[in-house]
A and B are shown apart, each in its own frame.
Chain A
Amino acid sequence: MKDMEQGYVTEDGRKIGGVVMEMKNITLRFGGVVAIQDISFDIREGEIRAIIGPNGAGKSSMLNVISGFYVPQEGEVWFHGAKRPKLRPYEVAQQGIARTFQNIALFEGMSVLDNVMTGRLSYMKSGMVAQALWKGKAEAEEVANREVAEKVIDFLEIQHIRKTPVGRLPYGLKKRVELARALAAEPKILLLDEPMAGMNVEEKEDMSRFILDVNDEFGTTICLIEHDMGVVMDLSDRVVVMDYGKKIGDGTPEEVRNNQDVIDAYLGVSND
């Protein structure tokens, strides 16, 4: 069904390309604690890749390795066919990787629009003084960036809260605003850390819809962490399963669902 080198076309007609990012034998330790142990997997262009696992499996740590926030003690991250050096967070952003956080990290006192505009920061070239004076290039730049921000606001259907301070929004909408900010950066790879945690069924359905639409409309590669199995299985093209820092499964949702190790990790093993 799939030519793994060249990419493939999914059942619903989306094109999945070659490997854009590859984790090679990643091991991450915090002192004596091994958070991630010798994990390898890849992410293909245009796919929705999920990392799942029970609490404490090391999912968020893995995402932080991908985003370059953590540097693993062992192993390499390959990006577009080359080994990625140690990067600062803003350099990661400039490479086209954007993310959302598990415990929403927005500027609570700022409006939704301003929060989304911060996603455009790496596209702003004019200096602080020019921006403050709103002169020449700074003005044109703001207009162009505002346009992108507005398109994202339209896409995620949050026009009605454009001017509302984020602190006043309910949880589900904050999650959406965070996604908006990440999208405003026009990322090639989007990392979502538990995008549906704490949501009710309806909000989860909405969020799933948006994730699929983002992937579909912009061709964005998405790597997401989630522990709601149902959502993951419906959404993703391929799934990595982690447990206690180790990789215990990797494949299509169907393959993963039938993997005995995964079933044991999620349902527990009887001791007899």
Chain B
Amino acid sequence: MGGEYKVAQMQSGAEGKLSLPALLERNATQFGNSPAYREKEFGIWQCWTWAEAAKEIEALALGFINLGVNRGDFIAIAGRNRPYLYWAMVAAQSVGAVPVPIYQDSNAEEIGYVLSHCGARFIVVGDQEQVDKVIEVKDQLPNFEHLLYLDPRGLRKYDHTQLHEFSHVQDQGRAACDELMPELNRRREELTYDSTCVMLYTSGTTGKPKGVVLSNRNIIESAKNASEFDNLGLNDEILAYLPLAWVGDFIFSVGQAYWTGFCTNCPESTETMMTDLREIGPTYYFAPPRVFETQLTNVMIRMEDAGKLKKNMFDYFLAHAKKVGGKILDGKPVSAFDRLKYKLGHGLVYGPLKDTLGFGRVRVGYTAGEAMGPEIFDFYRSLGINLKQLYGQTEATVFITVHPDGEVYSDTVGVPAPDVEIRIDDNGEIHYRSPGTFVEYYNNPESTASTKDADGWVATGDAGFFDDATGQLRIIDRAKDVGKLVNGSMFAPKYVENKLKFYPDILEAVLFGKGQDHCVAFINIDLTAVGNWAERNNIAYASYQELAGHPKVLQSIREHVSTVNESVAQDPMLSGCQVHRFVVLHKELDADDGEMTRTRKVRRRIIEEKYADIIAALYDGSDRISTATEVTYEDGRKGEITATLDISDARVVPVAVQKVAAE
């Protein structure tokens, strides 16, 4: 495979003409019979080769022209990961339009903002749910003209003047092939390395989402560098299950897939993702920490229910893996006896476990999007899964730093990715410059100018430093979130939150303390884990709220917090971040309530404002607080829940005040 595919890349022509549609053409000729897309439907994995995919995309592109898509138009795309929607992206590029993937779980208002901001004339969606949202905001979209949908279910009675079934548009494209083909060829010819490849909206941790414009150069250079860095090739497999609108999914499932020609597999539905993962057994896998956390929680819950023999075996070998697994993976010296024992453990525990998780064949695994708790990270590595961290952002076309194989540390995010330059300014903020550096924020020259300077350096908004021992970059936190306590010691909330989230029964934690004399925390329990525990201990509960306030739950959370405090106290720089008091929240932090982004990152400022009464109570020493919180249901209706929350004290380890280093 290796040789042939290198040659293929060489032949891809002059760099000036390189674009994703050009790579598609190359793939269709060079490895036309290799699988390009798979999707499980009706219980069977349906497959399209590169040659077939190219035909489908061409038909859709012709259909687009037929519908009146012009050069430079924006085509919004929303839905779950399906080959058809990926085709829509490349078909849009083929006709000179710009694909704008949007988060499928956004509510109508959020979708409306994005659609009106880019002035999308055409929208491609998955099903009725998305169609309904677009119709709801249609009046605010003066540019909107046509909407294409995949699944006709429930849409039969809708007014079809602006609605079209995806396959019909393709049919019309095929029918008009003779007439429109010259135009399509002309438009494909016009694409250059610098034409816009895609526009992705940032998740908006702070403020309104911004449209990040990425060129073919950004995407292809990044995809090429990353593929070479990890030796990805034609025979690799990935599972595409992360939101289409996330830059990571675009670079993995489109950029790298088109560069190397590997196959993108789409799950049957969101709920079947774990089963599909296992059936496909991807060799290249990526997931935000949340997914790994959930999987770990599920494993631990299931082991709690397992028989004594199995449970003991699991615990014994997992302890051994923790000791030597990571070292073996990194190729460090380990005694022959330990190696043998690890082999035995692989046969009995690690192998079957990896297979169950769907990681049996993973050669390269990445976690990105957010920092991951070291305990969770080490757990997966100790099983022999080559899980690495990657630090990146939309504006960099993902890659800023990556862990090289064999040099993986849980508290660093690796070395600069190929062709990326990094510099840390006096305030500790990380800046980078790379071929992946975005072109601009769409229609927002002020933000573009304040983020990217004239020399192409981009400020990440994250604070970090190069670790002396490893030479790798270590992220402290969002630069805006990092601060100091009154006594001068450093406050970096993410670090402590990740430690807390390692416990299966803690889903989310939010730490406060900037400008205060000590830290306090909000905690969300994990309903799956705690519910299971309650069931086993015959604890009855009627609601999330009741379970979250149960004295026994509070007791076990208090133990976790105290243990975390001990571990935080070990770190000389961050020992001031110990949690003195905490409260277990009566509701889950939710994107629908604006408390998190759609990528499930905590929005601190909003939480701080919304729950100001609880924070005040945490600091004024009261034992309980009555509060009322507004909640938004999935369909947009609003309600209110009231609760009286117990405030708990945690044990803290006394430490001498340290001076803040590296800031």
A-side interface residues toward B, CB under 8 Å?
12-13, 113, 146-147, 150-151, 153-155, 157, 159-160, 162-163, 213, 216-217
| 15 extra interface residue pairs, beta carbon distance < 8 Å, beyond A159-B269, A216-B157 | A113-B43, A150-B44, A151-B42, A153-B42, A153-B43, A154-B41, A157-B269, A159-B43, A159-B268, A159-B271, A160-B269, A160-B275, A162-B43, A163-B275, A217-B153
Contacts of A151 in B (CB 8 A): 42
In the complex, B272 has a CB within 8 A of chain A:
yes
Chain B interface mostly = loop
Distance, CA A160 to CA B44, complexed state (A):
13
In the complex, B156 has a CB within 8 A of chain A:
yes
Chain A interface mostly = helix
B157 and A213 within 8 A (CB): no
B272 and A159 within 8 A (CB): yes
Distance, CA A48 to CA B364, complexed state (A):
54
Instruction: Kindly provide the distance from the CB of A116 to the nearest chain B CB, expressed in whole angstroms.
Output: 11
Q: Which of B42, B154, B157, B271 contacts A160 (CB 8 A)?
A: B271
Most buried by A among B41, B42, B269: B42
- Show 5 A/B contacts (Cβ-Cβ < 8 Å), sorted by A: A150-B44, A155-B153, A157-B269, A159-B269, A216-B154
Distance, CA A146 to CA B43, complexed state (A):
9
Contacts of A160 in B (CB 8 A): 268-269, 271-272, 275
Distance, CA A181 to CA B272, complexed state (A):
20
A216 and B41 within 8 A (CB): no
Contacts of A163 in B (CB 8 A): 275
B154 and A150 within 8 A (CB): no
Q: Which residue of B lies closest to A213 (CB)?
A: B154
B42 and A147 within 8 A (CB): yes
Instruction: Kindly provide the distance from the CB of A135 to the nearest chain B CB, expressed in whole angstroms.
Output: 22
Binary contact readout B115-157 vs A (1 if CB under 8 angstroms, 0 otherwise): 0000000000000000000000000000000000000011011
Distance, CA A131 to CA B272, complexed state (A):
30
Contacts of A162 in B (CB 8 A): 43
Q: Which of B42, B154, B156 contacts A154 (CB 8 A)?
A: B42
Contacts of A157 in B (CB 8 A): 269
CB < 8 Å A-B pair total: 34
Q: Which residue of B lies closest to A113 (CB)?
A: B43
Q: Which of B325-376 contact A (CB under 8 A)?
A: none
Binary contact readout B26-50 vs A (1 if CB under 8 angstroms, 0 otherwise): 0000000000000001111000000
B42 and A150 within 8 A (CB): yes
Binary contact readout B149-186 vs A (1 if CB under 8 angstroms, 0 otherwise): 00001101100000000000000000000000000000
Q: Which residue of B lies closest to A12 (CB)?
A: B157
* Closest A-B pairs by Cβ, 6 of them: A160-B271, A150-B42, A160-B272, A150-B43, A159-B268, A159-B272
Q: Which residue of B lies closest to A162 (CB)?
A: B43
Distance, CA A147 to CA B43, complexed state (A):
9
Contacts of A216 in B (CB 8 A): 154, 156-157
Contacts of B275 in A (CB 8 A): 160, 163
Distance, CA A213 to CA B155, complexed state (A):
10
Contacts of A213 in B (CB 8 A): 153-154
Distance, CA A155 to CA B154, complexed state (A):
11
Distance, CA A217 to CA B155, complexed state (A):
10
Q: Which residue of B lies closest to A157 (CB)?
A: B269
Q: Which residue of B lies closest to A13 (CB)?
A: B157
Distance, CA A213 to CA B44, complexed state (A):
24
Contacts of A153 in B (CB 8 A): 42-43
Q: Which residue of A lies closest to B43 (CB)?
A: A150
Q: Which residue of B lies closest to A154 (CB)?
A: B42
Contacts of A155 in B (CB 8 A): 153
Q: Which of B94-123 contact A (CB under 8 A)?
A: none
Binary contact readout B266-299 vs A (1 if CB under 8 angstroms, 0 otherwise): 0011011001000000000000000000000000
Contacts of A13 in B (CB 8 A): 157
Contacts of B268 in A (CB 8 A): 159-160
Contacts of B269 in A (CB 8 A): 157, 159-160
Instruction: Kindly provide the distance from the CB of B636 to the nearest chain A CB, expressed in whole angstroms.
Output: 15
Q: Which residue of A lies closest to B268 (CB)?
A: A159
Distance, CA A157 to CA B268, complexed state (A):
10
Distance, CA A8 to CA B477, complexed state (A):
66
Contacts of B153 in A (CB 8 A): 155, 213, 217
Q: Which residue of B lies closest to A150 (CB)?
A: B42
Contacts of B157 in A (CB 8 A): 12-13, 216
Contacts of B156 in A (CB 8 A): 216-217
Contacts of B272 in A (CB 8 A): 159-160
Distance, CA A217 to CA B154, complexed state (A):
8
Q: Which of B222-271 contact A (CB under 8 A)?
A: 268-269, 271
Contacts of B42 in A (CB 8 A): 147, 150-151, 153-154
Contacts of A113 in B (CB 8 A): 43
Instruction: Kindly provide the distance from the CB of B302 to the nearest chain A CB, expressed in whole angstroms.
Output: 13
Distance, CA A122 to CA B42, complexed state (A):
22
Distance, CA A155 to CA B269, complexed state (A):
12
Q: Which residue of A lies closest to B634 (CB)?
A: A202
Instruction: Kindly provide the distance from the CB of A233 to the nearest chain B CB, expressed in whole angstroms.
Output: 20
Distance, CA A151 to CA B151, complexed state (A):
13
Contacts of B154 in A (CB 8 A): 213, 216
Q: Which residue of B lies closest to A161 (CB)?
A: B271
Distance, CA A212 to CA B246, complexed state (A):
35
Distance, CA A139 to CA B154, complexed state (A):
34
Instruction: Kindly provide the distance from the CB of A142 to the nearest chain B CB, expressed in whole angstroms.
Output: 13
Distance, CA A162 to CA B41, complexed state (A):
12
Q: Which residue of B lies closest to A146 (CB)?
A: B43
Most buried by B among A13, A154, A155: A154
Q: Which residue of A lies closest to B270 (CB)?
A: A160
Contacts of A159 in B (CB 8 A): 43, 268-269, 271-272
Distance, CA A153 to CA B42, complexed state (A):
8
Instruction: Kindly provide the distance from the CB of A213 to the nearest chain B CB, expressed in whole angstroms.
Output: 6
Distance, CA A160 to CA B157, complexed state (A):
29
Contacts of B271 in A (CB 8 A): 159-160
Contacts of A217 in B (CB 8 A): 153, 156
Distance, CA A162 to CA B153, complexed state (A):
21
Q: Which residue of A lies closest to B42 (CB)?
A: A150
Distance, CA A13 to CA B275, complexed state (A):
40
Instruction: Kindly provide the distance from the CB of A131 to the nearest chain B CB, expressed in whole angstroms.
Output: 19
Instruction: Kindly provide the distance from the CB of B573 to the nearest chain A CB, expressed in whole angstroms.
Output: 45
Q: Which of B54-68 contact A (CB under 8 A)?
A: none
Distance, CA A217 to CA B157, complexed state (A):
11
Distance, CA A9 to CA B598, complexed state (A):
43
Distance, CA A217 to CA B41, complexed state (A):
19
Instruction: Kindly provide the distance from the CB of B246 to the nearest chain A CB, expressed in whole angstroms.
Output: 23
Q: Which of B538-597 contact A (CB under 8 A)?
A: none
Distance, CA A150 to CA B40, complexed state (A):
11
Instruction: Kindly provide the distance from the CB of A95 to the nearest chain B CB, expressed in whole angstroms.
Output: 27
Distance, CA A21 to CA B157, complexed state (A):
27
Distance, CA A162 to CA B42, complexed state (A):
10
Instruction: Kindly provide the distance from the CB of B132 to the nearest chain A CB, expressed in whole angstroms.
Output: 12
Distance, CA A216 to CA B269, complexed state (A):
23
Instruction: Kindly provide the distance from the CB of A40 to the nearest chain B CB, expressed in whole angstroms.
Output: 33
Distance, CA A151 to CA B43, complexed state (A):
9
Contacts of B43 in A (CB 8 A): 113, 146, 150, 153, 159, 162
Instruction: Kindly provide the distance from the CB of A144 to the nearest chain B CB, expressed in whole angstroms.
Output: 12
Q: Which residue of B lies closest to A152 (CB)?
A: B42
Contacts of A154 in B (CB 8 A): 41-42
Instruction: Kindly provide the distance from the CB of B595 to the nearest chain A CB, expressed in whole angstroms.
Output: 22
Contacts of B41 in A (CB 8 A): 154
Distance, CA A94 to CA B153, complexed state (A):
28
Q: Which residue of B lies closest to A151 (CB)?
A: B42
Distance, CA A157 to CA B154, complexed state (A):
14
Q: Which residue of A lies closest to B273 (CB)?
A: A160
Q: Which residue of A lies closest to B40 (CB)?
A: A159
Distance, CA A157 to CA B42, complexed state (A):
11
Distance, CA A217 to CA B269, complexed state (A):
21
